[in-house]
Chains A and B, each alone.
Chain A
Amino acid sequence: MSRLSERPGEVIDRTRPMDFSWNGKPYRGYAGDSIASALAASGVRVFSRSFKYHRPRGILTASFHDPNLMVQVGDEPNVRAGHRLVEEKMEVSAQNAWPSLGFDAKGVNRLLGRFLTPGFYYKTFMSPRSLWPWYQRVLARFAAGGVVGVDPQPGRYDHRYAHPDVLVAGGGPAGMAAAIDAAEAGAAVILVEEEHRLGGHLRWGDSDDLGALEELSAAVLSHPGIEVMVDSVVTGRYDHNWVAIAQRGVEGVDERLVKARVKCLVVATGTIERPYVFEGNDLPGVMLSTAVRRLINLHAVRPGERAVVLSANGPGDSAIADLEEAGVEVAEVIDARGDDTVIKASGRMGVQGVIDSRGRRHDADLLVTAVGWTTTTTLLNMAGDRPMYEPRAARYLSKSLPYDVLATGGIVGDGSTDQLVQHGTAIGREAARRASVVKFQWLTAVPTGVTRQPPDTSEIEVPPLEAERHPELFRSSTHGFVDYSEDVTSKDLFAAAAEGYDSMELAKRYTTVNMGPIQGKLEAVNAVAIHGEATGSSPLETSTTTWRPPYAPVSLGVLAGRQYEPVRYSVIQPWHERREAKPLVAGSWIRPEHYGDPVAEVTAVREAVGIIDVSPLGKIDLRGRDVPKLLEFVYVNKWSKLDVGKVRYGIMCNEDGVIFDDGVTGRLGADQYMMSSTSGGAAGVWNWLDDWLQTGFPDWDVKMTAVTDGYASINVAGPNSRELVGRLTEIDLRPEAFGYMEVRTGVVAGVPGCFLWRIGFTGELSYEIHVPSAYGLWVWERLLEKGEDLGVRAFGIEAQRIMRLEKGHFIVGQDTDGLTQGHGMGVDWAIKLDKPDFAGKPELMWQAERDDYRRLAAIQTEDPAIVPPEASQIVAGDVIKGRITSSRMSPTLGRSICLGQVDPDLAAPGSRLHIRLSDGVTVAARVLEHHAHFDPEGTRLRG
């Protein structure tokens, strides 16, 4: 092949050469060249080796959807060389060839082809079983595709939202016309085109086509109402016209995902030319008519020297003219509209000869086929359409579309450029009108009090666009490749049918036809037709093809967009960082685990005073008359008589009686409550309450506001806590004025709007101060400053966990699991089965009648120095009798302490247990009387 002199419609810029490499050797193309056209212009014929038989493959469609043109570009695998433009210094290499494209060692598979029948791997490699891992490694080596590296250049990706009135997918004549007229009618339009330029098939057409293209694209590009995205693909149409576009060529990023809520979608994605199945149809040099027209007219590349053309349609005939003009000798034209056809193409690394159905052999290095079109119905399928096969036109046509989706262009029918434009124009106007109807529906779906003018409801008349008659041509009398990327032949489809895989779905799965990176775009219709031939049925008429998203493969990078996972920090985080707190991931929060010495932190709290940042605690402000009813319902305990100023501990269970959260709720005012939940459970509790209020009790007067981030929360704990807090507030802290389990509101360190509750997870006298978050850090620092002489020290989660374990308080999710119901956790006193109703009550009533559930128990090992790791199993012989849920070395007691879940027969105080450590050794332990290892009476807390 070689470069032709200038073509009227060429897209290359001959003044800008591009130097790149192919398999390590230097090549030159021009700006505007695809990788494939640049290589073809330099005489490259073989671009890849096929997946299974390692057959040489060359240009077939010269477009994005060319199965033979998948290459590696730098660290990017599976790049479509028929689409991607060459760039300076690009490093391109062939995939799937070893050691080289010219000599491929795995090509021996070609000879073995007759033994590698479909599903051959299901039939062998079974014995001896010991060899199976070895077979696996051999099979794995045959995996197709490019390579990914451990440390590639990171790609840059982004997301954008768009809200167009009309989105047109496909920038051919019909699509462009639709965009223009929709925009003229006032709609905000986005026009998306997969290729690098607008125009569709007009681009490689004659001078009339080029003229029309010029006019249309100028109108599109200059229209202020149209945003044009080229080199961009509509990858999917999801429910409610939620449309995804993978956009390339945006400044600053490699790719961008545009998510558009479209009022009316116009699908103008046209048709794709279909290959023909015959012996040798995959040889380099067998090309579709659109491929040669692209090569000649867009890239000025002569696709061969001597051609045979098999044509069944007008565009195929035009290819003949193009070839002649490009100086290709057209040795023979076989008119497929009659009885003639191609039987075989022969050659080793490319076409050398063609045998036709009259038995004549033609010398040729190029065989061009034009045997029909496949409609690109993916987006229609996704809109719920089930396109039907129309034998007269030999292609699938749209059957029924939802109101907000329209189709135009080749996907609907055929016609002259004028007819296509007329159809597109009408569809564009109709799309704009429907968009306004949809918009009206959206705007009036919510009561706003604004009166709106209903839009015009008279449909625009759309001129018919008939699909032309076209002969049904799928396969010649010989067998050839149906699916190039999967190396599936028509013979394989016959074999599959004969073996009993006689429905298309089974045949597809068995042979893997349609399963490759081309997603069936080229081969699906041939596959169905040949399967029908093999089974003696006519499945084309009865089947529809379901194309699953995405329309074209889309990078994980662009789907993800900017890679970030939000994390949450408390407002006191700057201080934690200065003190080099060890970060701990707790759900979405990053919290201080400790500040270097958790044991010293414990000692400070037990002997003096400590402060901990508990801002992540879930906080929900509840107001309204019916809050008590809500509390009564979601908590298992009694809530009706909670006086203002009081706080109560509560447990929540799911409908199945399983504990899912605990926390305290305080009554701040007559109709105002503050609920707290665990940090990890905050979102779940919120959803739970909201669910019940919306579905169970919509008439209750309860207003909820999530205020977790609104308050910074600081727990001040230890014998000196009253003294310390007293130095910062006027609130009367005397025990008789502010008792245990009470709440007060007031000013702390000059900050108004704080509330304090006297509770304690650590077992020490403590005050939990909730400060409007902007002042959290301020109050924290004041506490440290004012408490210096009191021995104040910040403590982290680890110290808190040790202390709560010393006190025997359980943590939901750690000491409970997905089946832990209310009873058995030492809180039976709280479960009020005599309440009329509450979430989980029926299951808890069942549970109360049984005795077979595990109990939470405080456990101490007989050897005080051994701390059994959490999750160690409690065993009797080999039988599991429970597990250690929490364990630590207690600095206060100087011994190991545990909480665990144990079977009822071992739960009684004093029971002797055996704990199996991870190395298999068992240690003896004992169940305590109380859950608390330390201060079971709680004298310190209430002091």
Chain B
Amino acid sequence: MNQKARFSAWGLFKRGLTRSHWPRVWDHHELRDSYDVVIVGGGVHGLATAYYLARNHGITNVAVVEKSYIGSGGSGRNTAIVRSNYLTPEGSKFYDRSVELYEHLAADLNFNVMFEQRGHMTLAHSDSSLRTMRWRAEVNKLQGIDSSVIGPEEIKSLAPFLDTSDHPRYPILGALWHPPGGIVRHDAVVWGYARAAAALGVHIHQGTELTGIEVESGRVAVAQTSRGDIATSTIVNCTAGWASLVAKMAGVRLPIITRPLQAAVTEPVRQFLHPVVVSGSLHTYVSQTARGELVFGASVDPFASYSTRGSLEFATGLATHVLELMPAISKMRMLRQWAGLCDMTPDFGPIIGPTPVDGFYVDVGWGTYGFKAGPVAGESVAEMVANGRPGSLIEPFGLERFHAGTLTAEKGAAAVGH
């Protein structure tokens, strides 16, 4: 990035004085006839992959094709929770690397992604969920991840609005407490990666849809798009909710079902909730943004669909559950509700790796929890594309595990989407 384009307080000041505009964050380009790598999907995964390909491996003849605008998929619709307190060693190791990347992302990308490590609290309402929390804490501790089980008093002091009094149905018995967890500004992550990748020479083609993949003798040959054909030997599928449709273009079948996940946001009020609070039993989680809004999420809808329309049942169910946790906020108002698409796998683990078609890689199956994995997945996928084989962090997540029967065990830890 040239010096003039670098973001800084000084730059803001100078431009404020001269009232001049910043240079463009990324440019429009003509589609080239060929690219070394074509990345499908302009979400955090696709853009991070492009960035790390260029930065870590010097591969810059890269196109990111995005059918709509960047961040229009899950990456612009998620509730932006970042954490690493996963249940399995392979899961927590992977996400821990992601948290580490997030911690340095602003400086790395020269774009403040507003990563606020407010702490992440998963409530236990029954002794069986308390047992699962302990399990997670024990696994995390062994991985060196800051994670522990805390009791109602500490919960109350961290989040005074939580109702820790005697409840018949959903008493708050304890919580898994994960101080490094938090929230990030999702759009900023998407734009930060796009801008940094563009500065390194990557072409970001918005409004460009992949419509077909030509495979010649088992190898990727051509990416067909709504703006023309691209000759290429490598295609990376980073299309999340649309992943199985894109894989089908290459003749690859993925064990993925697409389901909507809904979310909602309230009007802003003054800060009163610092940590991110999750309740698995109530299928709800909530955080307050720096702007003062409460952001709510839930579990995926129980049916397959490509619709991103919100439902009334979601809104009413959500409110019931949220007020069960925090009865004091009944007068706050819900401002907006929406839905995004989630690519669910049978074991709640992602699918990252090569496929039976040479040169066709997938980084999909991110379901309800893939935003936080954007940086580490991008880094690992770039490494895989550059070296032709997956590295150790992502090895457990290959497509072949569904044939070999070596599933990952994140179902418990990821049951409420985020």
| Least CB distance, B210 to chain A, in whole angstroms | 19
| Residue from B113, B125, B332 whose CB has the most chain A CB atoms within 10 Å | B332
- For A852, the closest partner residue in chain B by CB is B406
A918 and B13 contact, Cβ closer than 8 Å, known pairs A498-B24, A850-B405: no
Instruction: Write out the residue numbers on chain B whose beta carbons fall within 8 Å of the beta carbon of A151.
Output: 328
**Complex Cα–Cα for A799 and B15 (A):** 73
Q: A152-B328, A239-B309, A560-B316 are in contact. Are A548 and B269 (CB under 8 A)?
A: no
Candidates B131, B142, B320, B336; contact of A519 at CB < 8 Å: B336
Task: State the CA gap A149–B160 with chains docked (Å).
Answer: 10
- The answer to whether A561 touches B328 (Cβ under 8 A) is no
Q: A519-B336, A557-B330 are in contact. Are A77 and B412 (CB under 8 A)?
A: no
Residue of A nearest to B316 (CB): A559
Interface centre among A123, A503, A850, by most chain B C-beta atoms within 10 angstroms, is A123
Q: Given the complex, which residues of B lie within 8 Å of A499, measured CB to CB?
A: 21-25
Q: Are the CB atoms of B169 and A878 closer together than 8 Å?
A: no
* Residue B29 CB within 8 A of the other chain: no
Stretch at the interface among A113-121, A692-700, A770-778: A113-121
- Closest B-chain residue to A559, C-beta based? B319
Query: In the complex, what distance in Å separates the CA atom of A873 from the CA atom of B147?
Result: 15
Partner of A77, one of B8, B22, B332: B332
Contact present for B331 and A123 (CB under 8 Å): no
Q: Indicate if B158 sits at the interface (CB-CB under 8 A).
A: no
Please, which residue of chain A has its CB at the minimum distance from the CB of B167? A565
Closest to B409 in A: A819
Q: Would B290 and A503 count as touching, CB distance under 8 A? A: no
A500 touches B27 (CB 8 A): yes
Closest A residue to B282 by beta carbon equals A565
Of A145, A382, A559, A567, chain B has the most CB atoms within 10 Å of the CB of A559
Are A124 and B12 CB-contacts (below 8 A) given A505-B69, A814-B128, A916-B142? yes
Cβ of A186 to closest chain B Cβ, rounded Å: 28
Pairwise interchain contact B12-A115, C-beta atoms closer than 8 A: yes
Q: Is the CB of B312 within 8 A of A259?
A: yes
Looking across the interface, which residue of chain A has its beta carbon closest to that of B125? A585
Considering the chains assembled together, what is the distance between the CA atoms of A277 and B394 in angstroms?
A: 52
Are B411 and A124 touching (Cβ within 8 A)?
A: no
With an 8 A cutoff between CB atoms, is B171 at the interface?
Answer: yes
- B166 CB → nearest A CB, Å: 10
In the complex, A495 Cα to B338 Cα: how many Å?
A: 28
Contact indicator B312/A238 (Cβ below 8 Å)? yes
Contacting pair B69 A506 (CB below 8 A): yes
- Interface membership of A599, Cβ < 8 A: no
Check if A819 sits within 8 Å of B142, measured CB to CB. Answer: no
Q: Which of A136-144, A296-304, A352-360 contacts B (4 or more CB under 8 A)?
A: A136-144
Number of A residues contacting the other chain (C-beta, 8 Å)? 99
Query: What residues of chain B lie closer than 8 Å to A244, measured between beta carbons?
Result: 312, 315
Complex formed: what's the CA distance from A227 to B375 in Å? 56
Across the interface, do B267 and A873 meet the contact criterion of CB distance under 8 Å?
A: no
**A136–B116 contact, CB under 8 A?**
yes
Tell me if A124 and B8 are in contact (CB < 8 A).
yes
Q: Decide yes or no whether B322 CB sits under 8 A from chain A.
A: yes
Decide yes or no whether A43 CB sits under 8 A from chain B: no
Check: A157 CB closer than 8 A to any chain B CB. yes
**What distance in Å separates the Cβ of B414 from its nearest Cβ neighbour in chain A?**
10
Instruction: Chain A residues near B114: list those with CB within 8 A.
Output: 121-122
Contact B191 A122 (CB under 8 A): yes
Please, how many angstroms separate the alpha-carbon atoms of A146 and B332 in the complex? 9
A194 to chain B, nearest CB (A): 14
* Given A259-B312, A880-B89: A560 and B319 interface contact (C-beta under 8 Å): yes
B192 contact set on A, CB distance < 8 A: 122
A550 close to chain B: CB less than 8 A = yes
The segment out of A394-402, A738-746, A855-863, A864-872 that lies at the interface is: A864-872
Chain B positions within 8 Å of A847 at CB level: 405
Query: B269's contact among A115, A126, A146, by CB below 8 Å, is which?
Result: A146
A125 and chain B: residue at smallest CB distance: B112
CB pair A503 B107 closer than 8 Å: no
A23 interfacial contact with B, CB 8 Å:
no
| B327 adjacent to chain A (CB < 8 Å) | yes
B131 touching A147, Cβ below 8 Å: no
Asked if B127 is an interface residue, CB under 8 A from chain A, the answer is yes
Which A-chain residue is minimally distant from B294 (CB atoms)? Answer: A556
**Nearest A residue to B144 by beta-carbon distance?**
A878
**Inter-chain contacts of B185 with A (CB < 8 A):** 122
Does A656 sit within 8 A of B, measured CB to CB?
yes
Contact flag A873-B334 (CB < 8 Å), given A115-B16, A567-B168, A656-B407:
no
Residue A250 is within 8 A (CB to CB) of chain B in the complex: no
Interface readout for A232-252 with B: 1 if CB under 8 Å, 0 if not? 000010110010100000000
* A654, closest chain B residue (CB): B346
A554 to B334, Cβ gap below 8 A? Answer: yes
Q: Is B306 an interface residue (CB 8 A)?
A: no
**Pair B270/A146 contact, Cβ less than 8 Å:** yes
Query: Which partner residue on chain A sits nearest B169 by CB separation?
Result: A565
Report the minimal beta-carbon distance from A385 to chain B, rounded to whole angstroms. Answer: 13
Whether the Cβ atoms of B8 and A556 lie closer than 8 Å is: no
Q: Collect the chain B residues with CB atoms within 8 Å of residue A506's CB.
A: 69-71
CA–CA, A506 to B66, complex, Å? 14
- Bound-complex Cα distance A559 to B223 (A): 47
Interface check B212, CB cutoff 8 A: no
Q: How far apart are the CA atoms of A140 and B9 in the complex, in Å?
A: 19
Option from A76, A563, A883 in Cβ contact (under 8 Å) with B327? A563
* Interface: B355 (CB within 8 A): no
A817–B330 touching, CB < 8 Å: no
Known: A117-B16, A499-B25. A126 touches B112 (CB 8 A): yes
Chain B contacts for A561, CB-based, 8 A? 316, 320
B108: nearest chain-A partner, CB-CB: A126
Residue of B nearest to A563 (CB): B323
Note all chain A residues with C-beta closer than 8 A to B15: 117
Question: Contact check: which of B24, B107, B290, B329 meets A140 at CB < 8 Å?
Answer: B290
Looking at the assembled complex, report how far the CB atom of B352 sits from the nearest CB atom of chain A, in whole angstroms. 19
The B1-42 residues at the A interface (CB cut-off 8 A) are: 7-9, 11-13, 15-17, 19, 21-27
Complex contact A916–B333 (CB within 8 A): no
The listed residue (A124, A144, A501) touching B292 by CB distance below 8 A is: A144
Q: Which of B57-65, B133-141, B238-246, B381-389 contacts A (4 or more CB under 8 A)?
A: B133-141
| A590 contacts chain B at the CB level, 8 A cutoff | yes
Interface residues of A in 369-395 (CB under 8 A from B): 382
Tell whether B363 is near chain A: CB-to-CB under 8 Å. no
Q: A147-B269, A155-B331, A556-B333 are in contact. Are A869 and B134 (CB under 8 A)?
A: yes
| A262 CB-CB contact with B under 8 Å | no
**B406, closest chain A residue (CB):** A852
Q: Would B22 and A124 count as touching, CB distance under 8 A? A: no
Within the assembled complex, what's the spacing in Å between the Cα atoms of A656 and B322?
Answer: 33
Residues of chain A with a CB closer than 8 A to B142's CB: 873, 875, 878, 880, 916
Report, nearest first, the 4 A-B pairs whose CB atoms are least far apart. Answer: A143-B292, A557-B330, A818-B411, A559-B319
A-B pairs with beta carbons under 8 Å apart, 19 shown:
A78-B269, A117-B15, A121-B114, A140-B271, A143-B271, A144-B292, A148-B332, A157-B330, A239-B311, A548-B336, A560-B319, A563-B320, A566-B169, A819-B347, A850-B405, A871-B132, A871-B134, A872-B138, A918-B138
A-binding residues in B (CB < 8 A): 7-9, 11-13, 15-17, 19, 21-27, 68-72, 76, 89, 103-104, 106-107, 110-114, 116, 125-128, 131-132, 134-135, 137-139, 141-142, 160-161, 168-171, 185, 187-188, 191-192, 206, 266-272, 290-292, 309-312, 315-316, 318-320, 322-324, 327-338, 346-348, 405-407, 409, 411-412
Binding site for B on A (CB under 8 A): 75-78, 114-115, 117, 120-127, 129, 132, 136, 139-141, 143-152, 154-155, 157, 159, 236, 238-239, 242, 244, 257, 259, 382, 495, 498-501, 503, 505-506, 509-510, 517, 519, 548-550, 553-557, 559-561, 563, 565-567, 583-588, 590, 656, 813-814, 817-819, 843, 846-847, 850, 852, 869-873, 875, 878, 880, 883, 916, 918
Q: A143-B291, A145-B268, A873-B139 are in contact. List 13 more A-B contacts (CB 8 A).
A: A75-B331, A136-B116, A242-B312, A501-B25, A505-B68, A554-B334, A555-B334, A557-B319, A559-B318, A585-B169, A588-B169, A916-B138, A916-B142
